[in-house]
Structure 1
């Protein structure tokens, strides 16, 4: 340890900025990776907790395989001796006039009708069905739980009321009836939910919601000793019972691809940071080479020298990892406080830094801590091997570093070919493109292996160009160095090459996605103004617009055309969760279609168009004929897939159907949305005012331009953290190339002194450095650009379709790519010239004397 301290302390003492850069690289990499992990974990924890508070924890949830349950089902289930407690549930969404949500739209409140006495009974039996939904009354009078027209509110709902409020008025849209206002007495308090929520007695709820005799589900507690799965399997076919859905697991499945991609992007900073650690240790090795040679002559073995360098890398990694873990917690806490836990995607609310500590922390901290240490140790391997391989006597005579070793060019080509093969493999674990990420890694390593050949090739091509400025000793020296020291060029450019390639890939992917989204919005939003009901049905979908309102809007001279639309749901299999179905006017010439069925059409089937998620997850390929049930009426219909359309609005299954076909199959003539085209010369604001005068507060309006702007704003917010991760990784890579070029220049001081002694002027040596730096920097920039474009192809055509079921067109943002490549080239050349000026500051005679 004393030997290590004497050999390393001068560098830590005399060049603290370089040491701090290496520590900072590890710190940022670990902090970003650990912080993103904590933030995602907090979002899942919060969502699962909120879902459990509302849904409770019954043993089983009973639903009908088709349509709603009935009061008769409830009576039947209560007679079964295995059932200890049963709570009937009916739900609805109500409009809260006079209040607006965070998005500026009319405020809604979720209403749950249940049996409060059943909740009390289950709690007294020691197995509470939904403790956070059980109303808490000031007087503790159970009879008050059954008060007529009484609603028990959570804290979020009460925060919207005056402190002395006794009643509140809500507007609901019963199925098949006109919207109406209901006045409710404010009762007790409930603890569930972070969004406005109210609980009513089941009888009142059924009457107010216009659903007499209907139930959405029944929560069941079984008697002790009953196996829930076995009992559920023996229920009548008309029922389906299953354990309560783990909402946290569901959100985890839905967002796995997003979280994996984001986590890998965070690790990108750690990956490029390891190259900066390598550059700093290489610089320190070059500066201390005579000392290492001296201790070698004095008896320190090559194995011991190797270990000492690894210990130095381990120390850098340990300091950076410890700081990174602490900074990661701080970054996650700050993001939760300022932005919420959704990272632009999950839509969670009510986030706080306390959520960070409601999840396992020890194992993730160990994992990311070990990753930080591993990155630093791996980065120290190359300098350690260099010190191990030196011949001490030769180094003391000034013969410098041994020749570097590198993968041959054929190995680089083989790795890139392997990357191309891996890119063609399917995803695993659902939607996780593991093979695609392995492909990107192979492409990066293969590209690094080809850098020496690229430098030599560029030098050879340069020597063939005509012109007197390219002849003479400078070009000869540059050519010989490119041949003998091309491996050093790969090492010095490794960090910036990897960072540049990943930055180019992410820039192209984000730019392609945004361009494709913009074009898709133009196709998906053809009308000038969109109208829908502010009311919601029990399933959360918009309630139907009043037919009289649609007729009035059609007659308005401000509009040249009106296109109705019906949003509903469809079951692809009995008992399956419903998927989105949109019935609209279909002009296949203007739809965002990516596949069309050109074969025979089934005479007994109605045509539908599906999104990519339906094709990939549910096997709804073009031409397939299948049976499905309309969720509203339960009627089974025969359908055929006529095409696949791009859907950037969701990752779940969705279908389109022609509106006349839907009305003929379902008998439903209502519309939930209306698209309006302005007549020539009509102003948008005046037309919107006319809609509001006719529809009042029951309707919501949005202009196509507003929807486009909002969609792009959500897109930009979702990728904000991606851009920050990209910028950090690129900055770390640029620091790495600066440190690497400094190390190379310092190791060549004696070479420069000898050339000065032989007659080359300082100006000529600077030209030589400029030529060499331009060759290596140009090779690095070109290689980074080429690798980045290859990686972007994998991201655009493999990772995104496999992860998100979103296909897009490749689009190259030339201006941004030029700026990235120019920045990398300028950093490489500038760093080399600055380091060369320092190295050339040594007097030539003194350098030759040192060499002697």
Structure 2
């Protein structure tokens, strides 16, 4: 502590800016990583909480293996002694005319029919079925069971006009029946749901939904001591009972890849921040090198000097970590407040702060604190080893820093080969490309190890030029100090490589998305029903509307499309099936089956997620079940198509094949092409006159613009992290070059005594910096392109099941490389101007 008080603290006090920047680098890295973790955890926690409120917490959920359940099933189930309580459930999605959602379209409200008496009975027990769905009414049970009465949650009540006691909704009808408007009395309140939700008595719901005697599911609470597995085994074959789906876990699985990639991008700032800590401590070490040598002569051991540098790194890391954890909580809270609608965080029962602190915080805080401390300590190792290896007597004579150690070139080549090999390893834990990220780390380490060899190679090229005094000095200095080039350029090389990689990946993704949109949206205008079924799929358009749209003079032709659900395996979750006229636009295929068509099969095309997750490779024959039509289809995969609209499995089928096989002649969506000379606005107005408010419309250009806006917004944080990392890396170059220049003051003084002018010395520094910066820029560009190949061809397909075509944005890449080169050369010249002052000459005189 004595050395710290009398030696380190005065140096920090005289140069607070450098120390604050190092602390800021750790703070920013920890804050971004911790904040992203908290934000993801809060979103998952709120989604799970909302799902539990709506779906309840039963022991088992009973469904029919095909078709709906009936009231008779409920009666039979209640006769079983093992059943303590059973709640029948029927759901629908209604249109709320006059109300607009966040996207400007007509607002939908989810309606749930259930048995309030069953909920009230279970609420008296230790494990209530769905306590947040129990209507809170003043009139007791009679009001809860009142006919044509809907009990609303807070999100729905917030949209009611002041003093309104009735609610008019538009309900879809089974099959292709015309939707009808119903007027309901507004009853009590319910606590569940963060989006508009209403609860009705089950008998009333069956009547209003046009599904008399039908049930979607029955939530079961078993009697104490009953084993769920044994009870399930005793059920008739026509029933299917399973534990309630863990919606939080399901969302966690679906978003794992996105969350992991976003978390690693946030850690990029911490990774590059460690180079800034290294640069600051290196600069401080170079400036205090004579003092370090003096205390060494006075008896301070090399071990003590090494320990003191590590303590400096630990103090920087500790301060940055504490501030980073606090800032991370603030960033997450601000994001929840500003972006809550995007995350679905509008629960009436709690605030955004509640969501943050409702999740485990201690262990994540310890983990990210450990990462921050580790980054600072690792960054301080090199300066600490430098101080430990100095020969105090030689340093006092002005001979500068000791020669650095470096990995041999073969080790760098080995790391590059290892990185290339790891890129071929399949993902772990589902869709997490752990090996791919290790491959990127090996490529970075290998590139850093090869920088000295690259500098020596570029220096060797200068031997062919006429050797003047300055060129000779620059060549020899660059050859002898190639290791120092690796140290000084480490930060900008890593930051430049990551920036190049992310720029290429984002550019490739955006270009591929643009081309995909051109293929996926061949028509001018798209129309679909505003009403939704209970499964969330669009309701069929009315035949009268379809007929009227086909006769409009503004429309040249149309192409119908049907969206349905398909179950690939028994008990599996349904996947999306789109039936469309496949000759209306080119399919964005990435694989095609060229073999013979199997007998008695229908052709289907699957997306990449279905190929990777469900094994639906081209040529495979399989049997699947239509969920809504209760029919089994024998299908053959004829190709794999690129699908940027989802990460889950999805299939395409020709519309004619689907209608013959299913008997379903409905149309969910309609693609329209304008007649020659007709404007889009005129076509919109004509469609609205025919269909009214029961349809939603979107032009192909609007869908393209919206998709690209969502893409740019999704990658905005990535671009910002690139800028932070690059800025940190550039400052690291400035600090490192300053350290080298200050350590060479006596060398510069000696050269001045030998006759070189100040301008000639600056030219010498420019030549040296040009060699080193050129090597760093080339290495960063090459490494970045290598990393981009891993991101484009490995990380994205493994994480999201999206392939893309490589696209090089040459202008942006040239700007990045030019910026890194200019910053490195400029930093060296600025540091040299300071080191070439009068102190350099006086340093030589004092040494003499």
2:832 pairs with 1:836: yes
Compute the TM-score of the two structures, normalised by the length of structure 2: 0.98
Write the distance in 2 (CA, Å) between the matches of 1:851 and 1:569: 85
2:295 corresponds to: 295
1:662 corresponds to: 658
Q: 1:808 aligns with which of 786, 804, 811?
A: 804
1:83 corresponds to: 83
Equivalent residues in 2 for 1:107-118, closer than 5 Å: 107-118=107-118
2:176 pairs with 1:179: no
Deviates more, 1:176-185 or 1:688-697: 176-185
Write the distance in 1 (CA, Å) between the matches of 2:846 and 2:734: 26
Q: Residue deviations 1:304-327, cap 9 Å, x none?
A: 111111001100111111111111
1:731 corresponds to: 727
TM superposition shift of 1:353: 3.4
Deviates more, 1:272-281 or 1:122-131: 122-131
2:620 corresponds to: 624
TM superposition shift of 1:347: 5.3
2:500 pairs with 1:515: no
1:153 corresponds to: 152
TM superposition shift of 1:65: 2.1
Q: Is the 8 A contact 1:153 1:187 kept in 2?
A: yes
Write the distance in 2 (CA, Å) between the matches of 1:675 and 1:47: 34
Q: 1:599 aligns with which of 595, 599, 607?
A: 595
Write the distance in 1 (CA, Å) between the matches of 2:792 and 2:779: 20
Q: 2:751 aligns with which of 751, 755, 759?
A: 755
1:709 corresponds to: 705
Q: Is the 8 A contact 1:597 1:641 kept in 2?
A: yes
1:438 corresponds to: 438
Distance 1:439 1:844, change over 3 A: closer
TM superposition shift of 1:557: 1.5
1:310 corresponds to: 310
Write the distance in 1 (CA, Å) between the matches of 2:13 and 2:145: 77
Q: Residue 157 of structure 1 aligns to a residue in which SS?
A: helix
Write the distance in 2 (CA, Å) between the matches of 1:423 and 1:735: 31
2:407 corresponds to: 407
TM superposition shift of 1:844: 5.0
Q: Residue 424 of structure 1 aligns to a residue in which SS?
A: coil
1:232 corresponds to: 232
Deviates more, 1:778-787 or 1:617-626: 778-787
Q: 1:613 aligns with which of 594, 609, 614?
A: 609
TM superposition shift of 1:603: 1.5
Write the distance in 2 (CA, Å) between the matches of 1:837 and 1:673: 70
1:274 corresponds to: 274
Q: Residue 92 of structure 1 aligns to a residue in which SS?
A: strand
Unaligned runs of 5+ in 1: none
Write the distance in 1 (CA, Å) between the matches of 2:356 and 2:303: 44
Deviates more, 1:434-443 or 1:1-10: 1-10
Unaligned runs of 5+ in 2: none
TM superposition shift of 1:850: 3.5
Q: Residue 126 of structure 1 aligns to a residue in which SS?
A: coil
Equivalent residues in 2 for 1:170-569, closer than 5 Å: 170-176=169-175, 177-340=177-340, 342=342, 349=346, 352-465=352-465, 471-569=467-565
1:13 corresponds to: 13
Q: Is the 8 A contact 1:436 1:798 kept in 2?
A: yes
TM superposition shift of 1:514: 0.7
Q: Residue 447 of structure 1 aligns to a residue in which SS?
A: helix
1:648 corresponds to: 644
Q: Is the 8 A contact 1:532 1:672 kept in 2?
A: yes
Write the distance in 2 (CA, Å) between the matches of 1:781 and 1:70: 71
Write the distance in 1 (CA, Å) between the matches of 2:433 and 2:838: 54
TM superposition shift of 1:341: 7.4
Write the distance in 1 (CA, Å) between the matches of 2:106 and 2:641: 31
Q: Residue deviations 1:618-652, cap 9 Å, x none?
A: 00000000000011111011000000000000000
Q: Residue 402 of structure 1 aligns to a residue in which SS?
A: coil
Q: Residue deviations 1:579-602, cap 9 Å, x none?
A: 000000013971101100001111
Write the distance in 2 (CA, Å) between the matches of 1:321 and 1:659: 58
Write the distance in 2 (CA, Å) between the matches of 1:762 and 1:50: 71
Q: Residue deviations 1:450-481, cap 9 Å, x none?
A: 1111111111113324xx5xx31111111111
TM superposition shift of 1:845: 3.8
TM superposition shift of 1:512: 0.7
Q: Is the 8 A contact 1:570 1:580 kept in 2?
A: yes
Q: Is the 8 A contact 2:507 2:809 kept in 1?
A: yes
Q: Is the 8 A contact 1:337 1:353 kept in 2?
A: no
Q: Residue 838 of structure 2 aligns to a residue in which SS?
A: coil
Write the distance in 2 (CA, Å) between the matches of 1:630 and 1:851: 90
Aligned residues: 844
Q: Residue deviations 1:391-440, cap 9 Å, x none?
A: 11211222221100011111001000000000001000000000000000
Write the distance in 2 (CA, Å) between the matches of 1:145 and 1:349: 26
Q: Is the 8 A contact 1:64 1:575 kept in 2?
A: no
Distance 1:168 1:843, change over 3 A: closer
Q: Residue 87 of structure 1 aligns to a residue in which SS?
A: strand
Q: Residue 561 of structure 1 aligns to a residue in which SS?
A: strand
Q: Residue 111 of structure 1 aligns to a residue in which SS?
A: strand
Write the distance in 2 (CA, Å) between the matches of 1:116 and 1:143: 10
Q: Is the 8 A contact 1:455 1:486 kept in 2?
A: yes
Q: Is the 8 A contact 1:120 1:134 kept in 2?
A: yes
2:131 corresponds to: 131
Write the distance in 2 (CA, Å) between the matches of 1:306 and 1:272: 23
Q: What is the RMSD of the two structures over their aligned residues, measured on CA atoms? A: 1.3
TM superposition shift of 1:126: 3.1
Q: Is the 8 A contact 1:39 1:332 kept in 2?
A: yes
Compute the TM-score of the two structures, normalised by the length of structure 1: 0.98
Q: Is the 8 A contact 1:463 1:475 kept in 2?
A: no
Q: Is the 8 A contact 1:59 1:243 kept in 2?
A: yes
Write the distance in 2 (CA, Å) between the matches of 1:39 and 1:145: 38
TM superposition shift of 1:786: 0.8
TM superposition shift of 1:849: 2.0
Q: Residue 539 of structure 1 aligns to a residue in which SS?
A: coil
Write the distance in 2 (CA, Å) between the matches of 1:522 and 1:279: 48
Q: Is the 8 A contact 2:289 2:395 kept in 1?
A: yes
Deviates more, 1:48-57 or 1:205-214: 205-214
Write the distance in 1 (CA, Å) between the matches of 2:750 and 2:195: 76
